[in-house]
């Protein structure tokens, strides 16, 4: 599939996805949602890619939301299809067998904030702004925002953000536990690449299973999550990475991981 609004670069096991619709501050239209979905399907199969970073093109925006011009005249059934398309993308990020880091370089609003929340963690530049302004447009978040944000920052803070539509700056978002680190704009991608490099040197199978355990466990009772964790832990003992990782430790050398 030819990508009109998405740039994909692979560097040493790290795929950098850059949302690229600068004329609309990288807003998500249907075509872009399809492109992102296709990109994540391809990345799932690509054994050479260990970590994915998502960012926005330009100086101003990560993603300024779903495309308001495209949504303005749709009916309820089309809105349902649009929201489901966005939620399918979110699910594919959650189910991806490798970590996804959001490098938020500017406005992350509405569907753009929800895209960042779907990633495994967020680094933000000092210029980043986070908000769910849907109620200012007479709608509500429909791309996972009401569910994911409350799970990350708690119900009361999520209520305040969703009901007011106000924006948080990068430091406020860090204080609320949305963002892992705030960086000068020029250092954002370097820091994301550095972290991605650390992850990609580890056993990909262990990282993938750990992502699955943490994500799935959050939707389970703790007793079920612990049982799920132990089953994934055990499965790793059938992997090449476990043999290599432990032998390398015992032989005092760096592990050369090859996968499951």
DSSP, collapsed to helix, strand or coil, labels residue 224 as helix
Is residue 134 annotated as a catalytic residue, yes or no? yes
The yes or no reply on residue 134 touching ligand CO8 (CB under 6 A) is: yes
Select the residue interacting with ligand CO8 from 137, 199, 210, 255 (CB under 6 A).
137
Pair 191, 55: CB distance under 8 Å: no
> By CB under 6 A, what part of segment 19-58 binds ligand CO8?
24-25, 27-28, 33
# chain residues binding ligand CO8, by CB under 6 A: 24
| Marked catalytic residue, from 2, 41, 114, 172 | 114
CB of 116 to ligand CO8, least distance (A): 12
DSSP letter, residue 82? H
Q: Coil, strand, or helix at residue 11?
A: strand
Let me know if 114 is a catalytic residue. yes
Q: Which is nearer to ligand CO8, 3 or 68 (by Cβ)?
A: 68
Q: How far is the CB of 167 from ligand CO8 (least distance, A)?
A: 8
Query: Which residues, 6 or more positions from 61, have their beta carbon under 8 angstroms from its beta carbon?
Result: 25, 26, 105, 106, 107, 108, 112
**CA-to-CA distance for 20 and 67, rounded, in angstroms?**
13
Helices (H), the chain: 30-45, 68-71, 76-95, 111-118, 145-153, 155-164, 170-175, 188-200, 204-218, 222-235, 240-250
Q: Using CB under 6 A as the criterion, what x/- string covers residues 55-84 for binding ligand CO8?
A: ---------xxxxxx------------xx-
Kindly list the residues in this chain that would bind ligand CO8 in the complex (CB under 6 A): 24-25, 27-28, 33, 64-69, 82-83, 86, 107, 109-111, 133-134, 137, 141-143
Catalytic positions, please?
A: 114, 134
């Amino acid at each position: 599939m030819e990508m009109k609004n998405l740039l994909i670069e692979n560097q040493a096991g790290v795929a950098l996805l850059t949302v690229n619709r600068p004329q609309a501050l990288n807003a998500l239209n249907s075509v872009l949602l399809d492109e992102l979905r296709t990109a994540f399907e391809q990345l799932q199969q690509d054994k050479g890619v260990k970590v994915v970073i998502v960012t926005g093109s330009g100086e101003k925006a990560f993603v300024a939301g779903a495309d308001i011009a495209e949504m303005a005249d749709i009916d309820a059934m089309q809105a349902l299809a649009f929201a489901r398309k966005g939620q399918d993308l979110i699910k594919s990020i959650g189910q991806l067998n490798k970590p996804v880091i959001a490098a938020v370089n500017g406005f992350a609003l509405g569907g753009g904030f929800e895209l960042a929340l779907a990633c495994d963690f967020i680094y933000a530049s000092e210029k980043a702004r986070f908000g769910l302004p849907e109620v200012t447009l007479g709608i509500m978040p429909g791309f996972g925002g009401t569910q994911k944000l409350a799970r990350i920052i708690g119900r009361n803070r999520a209520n305040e953000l969703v009901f007011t539509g106000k924006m948080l700056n990068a430091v406020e978002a860090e204080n609320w536990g949305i963002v892992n680190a705030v960086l000068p704009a020029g250092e954002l991608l370097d820091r994301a690449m550095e972290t991605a490099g650390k992850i990609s040197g580890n056993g990909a199978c262990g990282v993938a299973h750990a992502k699955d355990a943490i994500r799935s466990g959050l939707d389970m009772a703790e007793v079920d999550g612990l049982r799920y964790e132990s089953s994934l832990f055990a499965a790793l003992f059938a992997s090449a990475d476990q043999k290599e990782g432990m032998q390398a430790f015992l032989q005092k050398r760096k592990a050369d991981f090859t996968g499951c």
